[in-house]
Chains A and B, each alone.
Chain A
Amino acid sequence: MSTHNSPNSDPQASQSQAGKTNLRNYGLVRWIDYRLPFVGFIEKDLIGYPEPKNLNYWWSFGSLAGITLLVMILSGIFLAMHYIPNTEMAFNSVESIMRDVNGGWLIRYIHMNGASLFFLVVYIHIFRGIYYGSYKSPRELLWIIGVVILLLMMATAFLGYVLPWGQMSFWGATVITNLFSAIPVIGTPITTWLWGGFGVGNPTLNRFFALHYLLPFVIIGVAMLHLLALRTHGSNNPLGIEVRSKADTIPFHPYYTVKDLFSLGVFAIVFAVLVFYMPNALGEPDNYKPANPLITPAHIVPEWYLLPFYAILRSIPSKLGGVLAMGGAIFMLFILPWLDRSRVRSCTFRPIYKVLFWVFVVDCLLLGYLGAKPPEGWYLIGSRLAAAWYFIHFLILTPLVGWFETPKPLPVSISLPVLPSTALPQEKH
């Protein structure tokens, strides 16, 4: 094993401290740290924490996701100070946030577009994990906890989207809650229970607000578990091989704090362009019409980040079948660590799986495109094929490729990635 779990005395960690002002020189800091090792925690787990030295920018998306979560919570709390969760007043309260509340438009546009960016960042984070095999032993639980976070995010975003009580809010809520009615026998009582009535109505809106406020804090808790699991075996890296010695690592601070800050800067620019120049580009104009339980809009579409799953739902011409396929799509992510039989993590050394990976990315994008189109004619045929490919990729190709693919020779270590003469044919586990 490598050294990254060594305690405070890690010479590299103290090296990076040497010459700088040591917080421990202050009496008060020492007094507190003796009782509550906060500074010790920061030194050990943030500043001196040894990371593989070859992490690329795809490794920035984890910290971006964390920051976006905080942005969502902050902007959400300020929205909640003006928002009214009542069917008579919800729509107008959001309009009043937009027009009357000082800076309300900014806070709402940050929250609206922040949700989209949150998903963008997390999807990239997930694809990163697939490409570099970060879900493989010993990081299976880390991966599974991540998929749980994705599910919680979907729930949170769905609940939040209902709050402004526009046409899409109402009909999105109707369609999604009705998914539960596909469950045999207990389906209808469950939907009635979810609604607190005989359809989406005031009780529904009120409880959705309560849950929308709650779930982000649950996400924080689960994200802590995610980090705990991460720290147990450390970060994976673009080569997908284990850290072998100190020479393979660099301390998190300043190397990755700087790198992540740069990524944050780029991210903030994208965020600002969305919020200030195209705040409604990712939204649906129909949601600026107040909810009307008697008229379904001609075209119901979920937010873009749910479209691939929606396309899978609609590709199956049966109610229960569609719901199962949609759930199955996420279930594939849960079992991915066991579907992939290859012992090599990184696609850099997996010529066939790498191609399949990119085909899979295109397939997901295609599903997203088709999810926004009416389910008829070529669109329907296309979404059936794309949905079938999604499952074929996971259930057939992923296990099969791991079995017959010959990986390229792996480097001996992160420090010696380009010395083919010393390269080993297979990594030892």
Chain B
Amino acid sequence: MQNAAKPIPAGPAQVPPQGAADQPDHSRRDFLTLATGAMTVVGVAAFVWPFINSMNPASDVLALSTTEVDLAPLKLGQALTVVWRGSPVFIRHRTPDEITAAAAVNLAELRDPETDAARVKKPQWLVMVGVCTHLGCVPLGQAPGDPKGEYGGWFCPCHGSQYDTAGRIRKGPAPQNLVIPPYVFETDTLIKIG
């Protein structure tokens, strides 16, 4: 590497002159050294990136990214957990009480302020990724006997985060509301997640 920056090929007849006369050459050498160094960094980075990127989700993982769910069998007050991209998705057929409770909350009280209306497409169907936004556990509250926390929604057993009936974070270490996945209603009771 260093040799490449020396401008004069080695040879007995061509001993480079020493001293002040050499000065202008120095800046040229410095430039060559710097340029070579910079190119090396760019080159190495260009080769490192494909290796790093190989660890990102592969095409087959990305291809598994939609799930269809039939909501018709879900009675009022019931909940269903489906799998989307390997993670649980919570679907709750909310009761009118739960909907009013969620809509009545004062946004100023919320850690991650969002209205109930912004979190649903149809108020009776709440669809969210069932992964705690703290460190990724699956909160309890889907099964009838589960603890639902102080706000009647979900309770995360790992470090005690509590979510309300709109899946918004109310208490505990989680920073955000449960995530709403992209989904569309294909018919009145059939949704496609992803």
Contact = CB atoms under 8 A, between A and B. Distances in A.
Interface string A193-216: 111111101010001000000000
Interface string B125-144: 00000010011111110000
B61 A294 contact: no
Contacts of A203: 55, 57-58, 61
Interface string A171-209: 100111111010000000000111111110101000100
Contacts of B81: 294
Contacts of A177: 136
Nearest to A87: B86
A154 B23 CA distance: 53
A24 interface: no
Contacts of A85: none
Given A203-B57, A376-B160, A175 B87 contact: no
A304 B152 CA distance: 34
A28 interface: no
Interface string B9-29: 000000000000000000000
Most buried by B among A293, A294, A318: A294
Contact of B137 (A196, A296, A374): A296
Nearest to B129: A198
B60 to A, nearest CB: 10
Interface string A290-312: 00011111111000000000000
26 contacts: A171-B158, A174-B136, A175-B136, A175-B137, A176-B135, A179-B135, A193-B55, A196-B55, A197-B57, A198-B57, A198-B86, A199-B131, A201-B86, A293-B83, A293-B87, A294-B88, A295-B138, A296-B137, A296-B139, A297-B157, A314-B173, A318-B173, A319-B175, A374-B160, A375-B159, A375-B160
Contacts of B56: 192-193, 196
Interface string A307-345: 000000010111110100000000000000000000000
Contacts of B140: 296
A207 B57 CA distance: 12
Contact of B87 (A176, A181, A198, A299): A198
Most buried by A among B52, B136, B137, B157: B136
Interface residues of B, number: 29
Contacts of B135: 174-176, 178-179, 181, 319
A28 B137 CA distance: 63
Interface string A155-182: 0000000000000000100111111010
A193 B53 CA distance: 8
A207 B58 CA distance: 13
B136 A299 contact: no
Most buried by A among B61, B140, B175: B61
Interface in A105-138: none
A193 B51 CA distance: 12
A34 B137 CA distance: 62
B85 interface: yes
Interface string B105-141: 0000000000000000000000000010011111110
Nearest to B139: A296
B174 interface: yes
A199 B57 contact: no
Contacts of A174: 135-137
Interface of B: 52, 55-58, 61, 81, 83, 85-88, 131, 134-140, 156-160, 172-175
Contacts of A374: 160
Contacts of A194: 55
Given A319-B173, A322-B173, A199 B158 contact: no
Nearest to A179: B135
B61 A171 contact: no
B13 to A, nearest CB: 39
Contacts of B55: 193-194, 196, 203, 207
Contacts of B174: 319
Closest A-B pairs by Cβ, 9 of them: A178-B136, A178-B135, A198-B85, A296-B137, A175-B135, A174-B136, A296-B138, A199-B86, A197-B61
A212 to B, nearest CB: 15
Nearest to B134: A319
Given A299-B157, A318-B173, A199 B137 contact: no
Contacts of A199: 85-87, 131, 136
Contacts of B87: 198-199, 293
A294 B139 CA distance: 10
Nearest to B88: A294
Contact of A196 (B58, B83, B134): B58
A300 B58 CA distance: 30
Contacts of B173: 314, 316-319, 322
Contact of A296 (B61, B158, B175): B158
Nearest to B83: A294
Contacts of A297: 157
Given A178-B135, A296-B137, A314-B173, 8 more contacts: A171-B137, A171-B158, A193-B56, A198-B86, A203-B55, A294-B88, A296-B139, A319-B174
A293 B61 contact: no
